[in-house]
Structure 1
Amino acid sequence: MTVRTRFAPSPTGFLHLGGARTALFAWAYARRFEGVFILRIEDTDLERSTPEAVQAIIDGMQWLGLHHDEGPFYQMQRMDRYREVVAQMLAAGTAYHCYCTPDEVEAMRERQRAAGEKPRYDGTWRPEPGKTLPAVPEGRKPVVRFRNPLDGEVTWEDAVKGPITIANREMDDLIIARPDGTPTYNFCVVVDDWDMKITHVIRGDDHVNNTPRQINILKALGATPPIYGHVPMILGADGEKLSKRHGA
């Protein structure tokens, strides 16, 4: 097996210390095993992503000597691919249309909080055998939700933290495409890692909660999840995650 790692920054500013450390770990791991290091630009945040920030990240990595073997790949150039996979999942029944508005979902969560329950999407539009779905509201565009398993659990051997297990009942049906058809972060990451044959994902431990969702989507696509390693965040003097506001 050829080791394939990636660094996938969002171009919303300069390369900060936390990102540089993650890039270093991914680059060093690929070099240690004579693998491939990929640069992927996650530029779907159109309001904050800029060409200047992309260039600053590339320049910063070159200055550090972290030269990539493949890329840079840009998520905004892969929209057709994401939509193709969404369509495949809808056809396979591993995803479905949900017509709930954000206000309706928030009201749903408020009721759950008041009842002492975990706030989550309640599966109103999730197809089930023998279930009658509501009438489709006229003129309303749906989101697409991933049909997360209701039973069982997700377990992975984290390369840094050791074994981690999350019960599927702790996760609701993740939105993978918005009403305008644009895919969401967790979905883009899954398709990219799958297409780029990533074998090892090294990232900050603020992504631990994303991992079981991404593993379930990969399994629904018939893909083998990569090995994940979640490194501790770099903290500022105030004990908070080190970020650009700290001058990082």
Structure 2
Amino acid sequence: MKAERNDLIMETRVRFAPSPTGHLHIGNARTAIINWLFAKKSGGKFILRVEDTDPERSVETYIDQIYEDMKWLGLQWDEGPDIGGPCGTYRQSERLDIYQKYSQKLLAEGKAYECFCTPAELEQMRKESHDRGQTGFYNRKCFHLSDTERRQFKARGIKPAIRFLTPDEQRVAFQDLVRGEIHFETDNLSDFVIMRS
């Protein structure tokens, strides 16, 4: 699928982004195969990107195993951490400075906010959300913190995650190649984490 916009040719670029926290499973393989087939069918690029942003759980030997498993499946990537490419680097841990820069920009623009919630608090919110028939809703507890409260958390050594501030009361619509027109209300979305603490 190529689309022309002004003088720019848009090339199809799909990615497979496994985490090196364990072995590939059937769901990973399915996603990789579908994306690889889509890239090949459309004359695009298949990119391998390693999601190694969790240093406590990421293991280097799993990255090597990912390469082996992909090759065993007959999937060759056009760009990736082992072969490079024009949009490298392809290891997320090597792009953290970029993510930090844009997270700070979103914070400054009021499009994101710091979240100091503990795993226990988040689990309680998930449970309460589930009990209400909702799925994984974050209640924006930290969105309403004052500057003083945020400074107090930081003074205690608590490093915040950064959450994207999902706009309220908006309708999002797009055309999906498989399912047709998709639409949903932003009120049904949770403010997702864009930078972990």
Identity %: 41
* Counterpart among 45, 50, 53 of residue 59 in structure 2: 50
Structure 1 distance, partners of 2:56, 2:117, is 25
Structure 2: segments with no counterpart, 5+ residues:
1-9, 82-89
Q: Does 1:28 align with 2:41?
A: no
Aligned to 1:76: 93
**Alpha carbon RMSD of aligned pairs, Å?**
3.0
- Counterparts in 2 of 1:1-248, with a 5 A limit? 1-72=10-81, 73-102=90-119, 118=134, 120-126=137-143, 133=146, 135-136=148-149, 138=152, 139-140=155-156, 141=158, 142-179=160-197
Q: What is the CA distance between 1:173 and its match in structure 2? A: 2.3
Q: Which runs of 4+ in 1 moved over 6 A?
A: 107-114
Counterpart secondary structure, 1:176: strand
Are residues 159 and 99 of structure 1, via their aligned partners in 2, closer, same or farther at CA, if it must alter by over 3 Å?
A: same
**Contact 1:125–1:134 under 8 Å retained in 2:** no
Comparing both chains, which one has the higher relative contact order based on Cα–Cα distances under 8 Å and sequence gaps of 6 or more?
Answer: 1
Structure 2 distance, partners of 1:143, 1:11, is 22
**Contact 1:155–1:164 under 8 Å retained in 2:** yes
Structure 2 distance, partners of 1:104, 1:17, is 32
- The size of the alignment, in residue pairs, is 174
Q: What is the CA distance between 1:53 and its match in structure 2? A: 1.4
Structure 2 distance, partners of 1:176, 1:38, is 21
Q: What is the CA distance between 1:12 and its match in structure 2? A: 2.7
TM-score by length of structure 1 reads 0.59
Counterpart secondary structure, 1:12: coil
Decide which moves more: 84-93 or 152-161.
Answer: 152-161
TM-score by length of structure 2 reads 0.72
Structure 2 distance, partners of 1:21, 1:120, is 28
Counterpart secondary structure, 1:44: coil
- Give a deviation string over 1:184-227, Cα, whole Å, max 9, x none: xxxxxxxxxxxxxxxxxxxxxxxxxxxxxxxxxxxxxxxxxxxx
Q: What is the CA distance between 1:94 and its match in structure 2? A: 0.6
One-letter identity of the residue aligned with 2:92 = Q
